[in-house]
Structures are given as C-alpha cells and as structure tokens.
C-alpha cells in the first residue's frame, strides 16, 4: 500500500529534521544576516549598524558598478554561447558513439572535475602565457614557414611576435569556457541520448539530409537539454571569481571580484552584501527564464 508522509509523521520528522536544521543554521540564517548587512553602515572596523539605509544599493547603481554588472553579464553570456557551440557537437558525438566508446568519452569530459580548479587554471596559464605552449607552437610554425619562404626565393617573414593571450578579457572567456564546458556537455548529452532514434531516421527517410535533420529535428527536441545546460553554465559563469582573478587583466574584473574586495581589502561588508544580493537577484531571473522556456517546450512536446 502506498504510504504518504502523513501516515508516518514521526518517521518523516526524524528523517527530515537534520537537513532542515542544517539548512536553517548554516544557510538561511547567514543569508539573512548578509541581507541585513546590506541595509547597514560600517560604524567601526568590525561593527556594523543596521540602520535600514538604502545607501548601499544606491551606490551599487552607480555607473561604475552597473558597468561591471553589465560586463559580467556579457562575459557570462559569451561563455555560455561558446560552450553551447563547442559542446553541442561533442554531446552529439558522444550520444551517437558505441556504448563502450560512450563510457570513455564521458569519462574524458568528467576528468577535469577531479582536478582542483586552481591547478587547472595555473595549467591554463602555462599554456597561454607569452612563452607558453600555444605561442611555442605558433613560433615553430612561423619560423618554418619563414624558412620555407626563403627556400622558394620569397622574402622571409619578420620576427615572431608572441600573441598576448593572458591577462585580458579573451583569457577570461577562454578560461571560463574551459572550466564550464562539462556543465554544458552533460545535460546536452543526456537530452540527446534519450531522444528516439527513429525520429531522426524518419527525417532522413522523408528526404532530409543529415544537417537538415539536426537542425529541424534534433535541435528542437534537445531544447530542454539546451535550456538546462545554458542555465547551469550561465549561473556559475556569472559569479565566476577565480578565473577572472587569475587570468584577467586590470580591466577584466567581474562582479565577484568586486564583491570579494568589499569584504576583504575595502572592508565594506554592507556594500559587498548589497552587491551579493543584486547578483543573486540576477541569478533568480535567469532561473525564471529557464523555467519559462522549459514549460513552453513541455507544452509542445
């Protein structure tokens, strides 16, 4: 017989109490405190007066901070878009490979998760820096091309100028795409893997080519997977802290870096709290948009 929690209240309470208490104590209460800070002022190095002022929020709406919010949104959107463009073919390839290859390919996608983010980011620095691997390969190609040109009697190329790949916005986007790609590939893969193969065969059977089939049948049917992939890539990318901190230059600050500064060097907790909550509200909007897309596609299919 089916039992609902109403029929076993004691057991339900016993099982659910620990997580509820945990969440309350270590998540909701601190969150409420930070929320209260955002309406306070610093009255000393370690004391905050809860005055109920909106001054922190007014300050957060100054062009400087709005600009950083805007920039974070653009970087996160770009990151998500690139992850989608790179991730979709990858997910498609994994979904259509043999069961044995599938397991290995998925493992490859998951592998970076098992390495510390800091180590991965430093590894990326080694790849991208002025005398890093990318530039070394480019230089090798440059000198050989130059040698080849002298060989056929042409003017040799000039000296190799290493590309500046690090400490700018490009580096931040590259780093964010690298870090977040698995978040995009996995939901896409699970959506594509679940798809009824005969739908694709039907499309081919009716005269569509492979690309047309992907565009007209596979992509629309993978829409829920795309939506959840976009969301779980966009949210952490928007709040990214370590990647812009290590790979970015002076103009690559994202909102999380500004927040960190308020809580540490600037020691302005109330303002940091206000910025944090604004970031959270942005995230809520993203989730709401995703839920809307999801509901619409569910109604369709």
Partner 1 sequence: MTETAPIQSSAGRQTSSAEDGVIITFENVTKRFAGVTAVDNVNLQIREGEFFALLGPSGCGKTTLLRMLAGFETPTEGRILIDGKDIAALPPNKRPVNMVFQSYAVFPHMKVFDNVAYGLKMEGVDGGEIRRRVEEALELVKLDGYGQRMPDQLSGGQRQRVALARALVKRPRVLLLDEPLSALDAKLRDQMRSELTSLQEKVGITFIMVTHDQDEALAIASRCAVMNRGVLAQVATPADLYEFPNSRFVADFVGSVNMFEGVLDEDEPDHAVVRAPELAAPVYLDHGVTGARGSTVWVALRPEKIEMHKRNGGEPPKMEDAPAGTNVVPGTIRDIVYLGSETNFEIELEGGRRVKTFRSNLTRYDQEDFTWDEPVWLAWHACSPAVLLS
Contacts with partner 1, residue ranges (CB under 8 A): 196, 198-199, 201-209, 212, 216-217, 220-221, 297, 300-301
How does DSSP assign 24-84, residue by residue?
IIIIIHHHHHHHHHTTEEE-SSS-EEE----HHHHHHTSHHHHHHHHHHHHHHHHHHHHHH
Compare residues 23 and 204 and give the one whose CB is closer to partner 1.
Answer: 204
Rounded to the nearest 10 degrees, what angle do helices 269-300 and 255-263 cross at?
150
Compare residues 49 and 201 and give the one whose CB is closer to partner 1.
Answer: 201
- CA–CA separation, 225 and 293 (whole Å): 11
CB of 301 to partner 1, least distance (A): 4
Q: How far is CA 159 from the centre of its chain?
A: 38
Compare residues 188 and 247 and give the one whose CB is closer to partner 1.
Answer: 188
CB of 197 to partner 1, least distance (A): 9
CB of 200 to partner 1, least distance (A): 9
CB of 198 to partner 1, least distance (A): 4
H or E segment and range at residue 107? helix 99-110
Collect contacts of 108-115 with beta carbons under 8 A, ≥24 apart: 109/181, 109/182, 109/185, 109/186, 109/189, 110/182, 112/179, 112/182, 113/182
Write the CA distances from 264 to 29, 62, 246, 251, 270, integer angstroms: 21, 21, 17, 20, 12
CB of 170 to partner 1, least distance (A): 37
- CA–CA separation, 195 and 228 (whole Å): 16
In the numeric block, the tokens 């890539």 are attached to 233
Q: Token pair of 111, please? A: 């592998």
Compare residues 154 and 204 and give the one whose CB is closer to partner 1.
Answer: 204
Compare residues 208 and 280 and give the one whose CB is closer to partner 1.
Answer: 208
Compare residues 194 and 264 and give the one whose CB is closer to partner 1.
Answer: 194
CB of 291 to partner 1, least distance (A): 19
- CA–CA separation, 184 and 189 (whole Å): 9
CB of 196 to partner 1, least distance (A): 6
CB of 207 to partner 1, least distance (A): 4
């Amino acid at each position: 017989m089916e039992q609902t929690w109403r029929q076993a209240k004691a057991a339900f309470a016993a099982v659910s109490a620990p997580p509820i208490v945990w969440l309350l104590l270590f998540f909701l209460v601190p969150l409420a405190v930070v929320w209260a800070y955002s309406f306070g002022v610093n009255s000393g190095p370690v004391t905050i007066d809860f005055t109920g002022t909106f001054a922190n929020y007014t300050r957060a709406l100054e062009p400087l901070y709005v600009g950083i919010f805007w920039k974070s949104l653009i970087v996160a959107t770009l990151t998500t878009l690139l992850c989608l463009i790179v991730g979709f073919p990858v997910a498609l390839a994994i979904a259509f490979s043999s069961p044995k290859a599938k397991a290995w390919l998925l493992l490859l996608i998951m592998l970076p998760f098992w390495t510390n983010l800091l180590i991965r980011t430093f590894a990326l620095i080694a790849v991208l820096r002025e005398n890093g691997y990318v530039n070394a390969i480019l230089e090798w190609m440059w000198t050989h091309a130059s040698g080849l040109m002298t060989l056929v009697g042409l003017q040799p190329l000039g000296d190799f100028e290493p590309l500046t790949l690090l400490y700018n916005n490009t580096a931040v986007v590259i780093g964010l795409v690298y870090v977040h790609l698995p978040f995009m590939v996995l939901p896409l893969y699970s959506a594509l893997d679940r798809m009824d193969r005969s739908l694709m065969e039907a499309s081919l059977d009716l005269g569509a080519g492979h690309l047309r089939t992907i565009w007209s049948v596979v992509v629309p049917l993978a829409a829920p997977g795309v939506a959840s992939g976009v969301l779980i890539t966009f949210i952490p990318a928007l709040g990214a802290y370590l990647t812009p901190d290590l790979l970015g230059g002076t103009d690559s600050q994202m909102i999380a870096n500004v927040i960190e500064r308020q809580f540490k060097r600037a020691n302005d907790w109330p303002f940091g709290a206000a910025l944090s909550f604004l970031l959270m509200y942005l995230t809520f909007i993203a989730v709401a948009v995703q839920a809307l897309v999801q509901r619409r596609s569910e109604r369709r299919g």
